[in-house]
Amino acid sequence: MSDDVFLWWFLLCAVSALNVLALTYSAAALRRRHPALSDEVYAARRWQLLLAAGYVFGCAYRCAFPVFDVQRQVLTDSWLSSVIVGRSVATFAELCFVTQWALLLWEIALAGASRLARAAALAMVPMILVAETFSWYSVLTTSNVGHVVEESLWGLSAVFFVLGLASVWARCPSKLRPLLAGACAAGSAYVVFMFTVDVPMYWSRWLADEASGRHYLSIAQGVEDASGRWVVSHRWDDWKSEIAWMSLYFSVAVWLSISLIHAPVLGEVKGSQPAHA
């Protein structure tokens, strides 16, 4: 393995170990907070903890066994690195992650009596279920057009989340507005990244494949191929296109997931009324 690839892999694994420690600390902190929380709030934060665990351990697995799905490229020569296993772990972890955000937005929607935020919260998980379906389509067939749809849906879900947050701004207590503004800024930055970097990248890959006359697999062929074929590569040139997003995804995204366990208690927003159906 080249030194630069080994260093990147080592850092990924080190960060994932720290993430597990942070999750353990968060679980202990939540237990300590339990007496001060209502049963409803504790149950909500308990769900955040369980869903964060699914995401943290899923990402830790993917750090240990990195996979470049469409190319069937791996670092470790093992069935544990197979695309079918890695994509299954990723699907579970990503559904945990988006459910965390949907639950937080639902809590905000109820506190702020926002029907827009409530609708956005209800839409996020089904939207990502569809996105995961398109991801599987691309992974199995090796056609990047499914990834274009997948990443577009992730970006659109973030748009919904930001709009939901913005809809409660006027009724949000002033002490929570910096947190709300930070979440809106982070969500907006994610939207910009997805639609200016990530989606165009997959679109250009698909156009290049079309121009070269690439032969795509059927779903059945893809299942067989993704289950039993992997190409071991330790060259920087083979991994460099994936390193940026993997590094951010397995660090910053995981930290955001863990942070939701510690979300402040929203309570009733001043002047709010129960949201109407």
Q: Residue 2: helix, strand or coil by DSSP?
A: coil
In-domain check, residue 218: yes
For the chain, residues with pLDDT lower than 70 are 267-277
Q: Where are the alpha helices (DSSP H) in the chain?
A: 3-33, 39-64, 83-112, 115-141, 145-166, 177-193, 199-212, 219-228, 236-248, 254-259
pLDDT at 252: 92
In-domain check, residue 271: no
C-alpha to C-alpha distance for 136 and 148, rounded to whole angstroms: 12
In-domain check, residue 190: yes
pLDDT at 62: 94
C-alpha to C-alpha distance for 85 and 107, rounded to whole angstroms: 34
pLDDT at 269: 40
pLDDT in tens, 126-161: 999 999 999 999 999 999 999 999 999 999 999 999
What is the residue range of 104's domain? 3-262
pLDDT at 232: 93
The sheet carrying 73-74 orders its strands as: 67-68, 73-74, 231-232
In-domain check, residue 144: yes
- Count how many domains the chain has: 1
In-domain check, residue 161: yes
pLDDT at 178: 83
Q: Tokens 């893809």 correspond to what residue?
A: 222
Crossing angle of the two packed helices 219-228 and 115-141, in degrees rounded to 10: 80
| The pair of three-digit structure tokens given for residue 144, joined into one six-digit string | 């990047």
What's the CATH code of the domain at 170?
1.20.1070
C-alpha to C-alpha distance for 265 and 36, rounded to whole angstroms: 11
Q: Residue 162: helix, strand or coil by DSSP?
A: helix
pLDDT at 183: 86
Please name which of 168, 166, 156, 159 lies closest in space to residue 109, comparing C-alpha atoms: 168
Cβ atoms within 10 Å of 151's Cβ, excluding its own: 22
pLDDT at 99: 97
In-domain check, residue 272: no
pLDDT at 267: 58
CA 186 to chain centre: 14
In-domain check, residue 19: yes
In-domain check, residue 267: no
Q: Is the whole-model pTM more than 0.75? A: yes
